Amino acid sequence: MNAVFAVCLLSSISLAFQDPTPQGRGARAPQLSSEELAKQPQTRGATGDQERHYYFSEGKTESPYHLYVPKKYDGKTKMPLILSLHGAGARQNYFFRPAYGMPDLLEKYGFIFVSPFGFHEFGGYGAGLLPRVPVALDPGVAPNPVNARRPQWTPEEQAKVNELSEKDVMNVLALVEKEYKVDLARVYLMGHSMGGMGTWYLGQKYAKKWAALGILSAGFGYVDYPLQRLKGIPIITGAGSMDTAMHGERALAEEKRFKAAGLDIRYIEIPAAPTCR
């Protein structure tokens, strides 16, 4: 798979599992109302670290997204792009916590990086409607406390939120591709936890869009997952050895099953990494 993408992704994986600071554990920034967000300035074609927004008509709200464009971007030369999906309970700025060093990676390797909000902190990017492979927690691994904040939606409400979450992601991707010179042959999709599940879902649904997929702390697909749709797309997936996601022997067995189906996949486990929250 593309070596640059792998370096960026694996650096993020390592920090996401090991950062011990309160901010690294998921401190929540103040949220602006839709009306307040709509008033925030933004500059078309700008470079560097940017908090962006657009009017999401399907959701009837102003929706934020976090964008980083390397400062060497000149508006003429195409750049690869990473579309990244945050985990449950987080927001679009999740991957830009100072401890992660994301801007330095993007400047070094020359990637545009965008992370949509996905309509709701627990939006699911469409994946919430699919049957998941059940994962039993290992002894001593506590359930993720973020789940205590998860809304109790009816099936109909969940379906609508998932639909809007998926639409928000694809809207943001289209906006960035229209505004910037993106190398459409090098558009990468990655996600963490819920975002990793969203990556499995959007990865197969829009398979022709992606040069590669990166799945952090999200197991291996779903029940009856359409593996064949991802043939020819490099996939890198990882988890911590003390994670709530599928890991250890079960993950290695899934990696073997995916490879037997002809997929180009690599599983990486971070030893002694705690539950990713």
State the pTM of this model.
Answer: 0.88
What is the model's pLDDT at position 175? 98
What is the model's pLDDT at position 1? 43
154 - beta bridge partners? none
Amino acid 86 reads H
Give 274's pLDDT tier (boundaries 50, 70, 90). Answer: low
Tell which CATH classification among 3.40.50, 3.30.1120, 3.40.190, 1.10.1200 matches the domain 3-225.
3.40.50
Angle in degrees, CA 167, 208, 264, rounded to 5? 115
176 torsion bin: left (phi>0), alpha (psi -120 to 50), beta (else): alpha
- Judged by average pLDDT, the poorest of 127-136, 175-184, 193-202 is 127-136
Amino acid 203 reads G
Q: Is the model more confident about 154 or about 23?
A: 154
What is the model's pLDDT at position 47? 98
Domain ranges of the chain: 3-225
Helix, strand counts (H, E) of the chain: 6, 8
- Concatenating the DSSP letter of every residue in 180-248 gives S-EEEEEEEEEEETHHHHHHHHHHHHTGGG-SEEEEES--S-BTT--GGGGTTS-EEEEEETT-SSS-H
- Convert the pLDDT of each residue in 29-70 to its tens digit: 578 999 999 999 999 999 999 999 999 999 999 999 999 999
- Convert the pLDDT of each residue in 242-260 to its tens digit: 787 888 888 899 999 999 9
Closest CA to 220 of 255, 261, 172, 244: 255
Mean pLDDT of 228-232: 96
Closest CA to 232 of 254, 257, 265, 255: 265
- Convert the pLDDT of each residue in 162-182 to its tens digit: 999 999 999 999 999 999 999
CA-atom Rg of the chain in angstroms? 18
What is the model's pLDDT at position 21? 36
d(CA 26, CA 213): 24
In the numeric block, the tokens 């008509």 are attached to 57
- Convert the pLDDT of each residue in 136-160 to its tens digit: 766 666 777 777 788 888 999 999 9
What is the model's pLDDT at position 10? 46
Amino acid 42 reads Q
Say if residue 16's pLDDT is above 80: no
Say if residue 94's pLDDT is above 80: yes
What is the model's pLDDT at position 247? 82
Express the helix, strand and coil content of the chain in percent, nearest 5 each.
35, 20, 40
Angle between helices 3-18 and 102-109 (to 10 degrees): 170
Do the Cβ atoms of 160 and 126 come closer than 8 Å?
A: no
Detail the DSSP E strand segments found in 105-181: 112-116
What is the model's pLDDT at position 29? 58
What is the model's pLDDT at position 98? 83
Give 3's pLDDT tier (boundaries 50, 70, 90). Answer: very low
